[in-house]
Structure 1
């Protein structure tokens, strides 16, 4: 299956939205519609730190990576946080997730990012893919909802 990774476009919404809904279901999350709308708008806004890359095959969007580009204290170069990665369950295991991450790595090298990183659940089956790119570190995440 040939996969192309490209920037999100406005006309992708009808194909992106079912993937987004699948992603939130995977994490047992119910979001207010205003959050989804804001995420979509920020992902398209060239002035936002958030951006989205989609994986496309045969004219169909089959996966996405939502990222945040941010400053860091240990580098003068930007850092990319891969916040959300999702692939249509009907095509998982065929290289789409790998293509998305590889495309982000290439973009980061080209644009001068210092690092690409992400966080996932310990029992996420996608860790088999993630382990091909590097080792999980020993950091523990703390979260405080405000």
Structure 2
């Protein structure tokens, strides 16, 4: 695959399960998060539940093999009284990087945002994700927000 014209982005389908899991495992490994069958099966279920907010876009090569994924959902923005898109996870197969998969996934997310009336798509990434951040810096504006997290106390 030499360029983005050979990358097709489609909604996740049952036929993608094995490749989706391979990509999702790669994403989890990058962030050093243990992935279990229980977690993966739950997320896979969410992706096929029309009532669940999470969606998945799959980038396929010319042979129909999944080579990238994006988990995206609507996110309310109370101060604007509107929703925007929120990209939870993005992963491109290391063997497919530099071949237009990233750009194809973001083009598909742009179309999703236009269809849903989202004025923007937001996401977070880790400080150490230098390759990803370099790509994000090409296509988006880094915001001044700082993320905090508080663990829920036990009852």
> Structure 2 length normalisation: TM-score?
0.88
**Residues 33-86 of structure 1, C-alpha deviations (whole Å, 9 max, x = no match):** 222111111012111100000001121110000112132202333221100000
Aligned partner of residue 89 in structure 2, secondary structure: strand
Matched, 1:100 2:109: no
* Counterpart for residue 128 of structure 1: 134
> Structure 1 length normalisation: TM-score?
0.93
How far apart in 2 are the matches of 1:78 and 1:45? 20
Structural RMSD (CA): 1.3
Q: Following superposition, which runs of at least 4 residues in structure 1 exceed 2 angstroms of deviation? A: 74-78
For structure 1, the residue ranges without an aligned partner over 5 or more in a row are: none
Q: How many residues align?
A: 146
Q: Is the 8 A contact 1:44 1:52 kept in 2?
A: no
For structure 2, the residue ranges without an aligned partner over 5 or more in a row are: none
Superposition pairs for residues 1-146 of structure 1, below 5 Å? 1=3, 2-58=6-62, 59-124=64-129, 125-146=131-152
